[in-house]
Homo-oligomer: A and B are copies of this chain.
Amino acid sequence: MAPGRSKLKLTKGSNTVWHHATVTRADRERLNGHRSVIIWFTGLSGSGKSTLAHAVEEGLYELNCRAFVFDGDNVRHGLCGDLGFSPHDREENIRRIGEMVKLFVEGGVIALTAFISPFAKDRRKVRELAGDGDFIEVYCRCPIEVCEQRDTKGLYRRARMGEIPEFTGISSPYEVPENPELVVATGETPLETCVDQVIAYLRQRGVITPVRHALP
Contact = CB atoms under 8 A, between A and B. Distances in A.
B104 A31 contact: no
Contact of A78 (B10, B61, B99): B99
A168 interface: no
Interface stretch (A116-124, A186-194, A200-208): A186-194
A16 to B, nearest CB: 7
Contact of A190 (B12, B31, B107): B12
Contact of A8 (B58, B64, B74): B58
Contacts of A191: 10-11, 15, 18
A144 B192 CA distance: 59
A192 B15 CA distance: 10
A51 B20 contact: yes
A70 interface: yes
Contacts of A141: none
B62 A10 contact: no
Given A12-B192, A51-B20, A57-B21, A62 B107 contact: no
22 contacts: A1-B214, A2-B215, A5-B214, A8-B59, A11-B191, A13-B190, A15-B188, A15-B190, A16-B150, A18-B48, A20-B54, A23-B54, A23-B57, A23-B61, A31-B66, A66-B107, A74-B103, A74-B106, A78-B99, A79-B99, A81-B99, A104-B104
